[in-house]
Each structure stands twice: as C-alpha cells, then as structure tokens.
Amino acid sequence: MRRGFFLSFEGLDGSGKTTQIRKLTAQLESRGHKVTVVRQPGGTRIGDRIRQILLDSRTDGLAPLAELGLMFSDRAQAIAEVILPALGAGQIVICDRYTDSTEAYQGGGRQLGSKVILQLHELMCGGLQPDLTILLMPDFAKSLHRARRRNERNARAGNDEGRFEQEAEDFYRRVYEKYREIALRDTGRVAVIEGDDGIEDVHHQILRIVEDRLR
C-alpha cells in the first residue's frame, strides 16, 4: 500500500496549534497536496461522542485510567476510519494531537507515567507513529492564559469543553515537562518550536521543516 505522510501537532492548550494547522493546510493544498486533518479527541462520528464525555466540564468522577482508555479508543477509531485510509491513498494526514498528548496529559499531568501509555500505544495503535511531529512550546504562562480566555468565551457561547482547562497550574507544568522529555527522547521525529515569534514567523518555520521532510 502506498504510504502518504503523517504529521502531528502537539503543545499545551493555547499554544496556537489550530491556527498553525489551518495555515499549513492551506499552503500545502495550494501546492496540490491532498491533506486530511483530524483532531483528537474527535474527528470521527464516534470520536466526537467520546470527545463530549472527555471535555465536558460537567463530566465528573472520570477515573484517570478510564480517561486514558477513552483517549485510546478515540484514537483507534480515527486510525481505522480516517488515518490509515488517507495514508494508504498517499495523502498528507495532519493530526491535531496524537499519542504524545496522551503521554503528556495522562502520563505527565495525571501522573500515570509514560510506560503504560507507550504499551497501550503499541496495542491500540499498532505502534503507528507520525513521520514528523511539530511541538509548539511558546511561553508557559502565555499559553495557559490564552487557553483559559478561549474557554471562558466558548462556555459563554454554550460550548463547554473546559474540563482540562479547569486543571491547576501544577497539572500543566507536568504536561509541559513531559513534552520536553518526549522531545529529548525522540529527536528524529519531534521538531520543537520555542517561544512566540508571532503567527507568521512560526508558520514559516513550520513550512520550512515540513518542506524539508516532504522532499
């Protein structure tokens, strides 16, 4: 089966992933690439239902391991329904979050550790890893501030997806540190973009990295 290119975006809530994915997708499509974008959790009909349970701030009492299981169930569905078929058709697949998020948030944030996540990744995702991961690491405090502001806006609009954004700063510190650990471990796959050079600048940095890998 012909294989396309698998790219994931990672970073804290409010790190600017979604904006950058939108810009990169437009750029790649204008050059004639076929691009499929999938967000996690969500991105499939079943995944969107799982997302609702996971992100609704009215969901309470969800055990960390149950949360972990739902993240992987969502991912297994996206792999079967969207990711593998698109890669098989030779497309570029862009995932807004993938297993690194689970390692950072559930492994780091919820303190389940990396080992169980990497084991489940083998089992549930057949070990499928992105060819390239762009990890956005703007200033910690700025990301958090942006995420909280966005969440308040969404909640006012009746779209309550703030279960994670309610977490304390300690939780996000652990997520941030786990991302750093992943980047140091997986230097061949993970490209880290530090700081906040503005949307256009970051976009051009990303474009250079992606073009280089696609060649």
Which residues sit at the interface with ligand TYD, rule CB under 6 A?
A: 13, 17-18, 39-41, 55, 71, 96-97, 101-102, 105-106, 161, 164
Collapsing DSSP to helix, strand or coil, 20 comes out as helix
Angstrom distance (rounded) from CA 9 to CA 19 = 11
Q: Which is nearer to ligand TYD, 144 or 210 (CB)?
A: 144
Query: 3-state SS of the chain: helix, strand, coil percent to 5?
Result: 55, 15, 30
Q: Which is nearer to ligand TYD, 36 or 101 (CB)?
A: 101
**What's the min distance (Å) between Cβ of 215 and ligand TYD?**
28
Q: Which is nearer to ligand TYD, 97 or 174 (CB)?
A: 97
The residue at minimum Cβ distance from ligand TYD is 105
Angstrom distance (rounded) from CA 83 to CA 47 = 13
Asked if omega into 138 is within 30° of 0 (cis), the reply is no
- CB count within 10 Å of CB 126 equals 10
Q: Which is nearer to ligand TYD, 66 or 211 (CB)?
A: 66
**What's the min distance (Å) between Cβ of 16 and ligand TYD?**
9
The residues pairing with 35 across neighbouring beta strands, listed in sequence order, are 92
SS (H, E, C) 150-165: HHHHHHHCCCCCCCCC
Angstrom distance (rounded) from CA 171 to CA 104 = 10
Angstrom distance (rounded) from CA 26 to CA 22 = 6
**What's the min distance (Å) between Cβ of 64 and ligand TYD?**
10
**What's the min distance (Å) between Cβ of 143 and ligand TYD?**
9
**What's the min distance (Å) between Cβ of 39 and ligand TYD?**
6
Q: Which is nearer to ligand TYD, 146 or 214 (CB)?
A: 146
Q: Which is nearer to ligand TYD, 69 or 89 (CB)?
A: 69
**What's the min distance (Å) between Cβ of 126 and ligand TYD?**
17
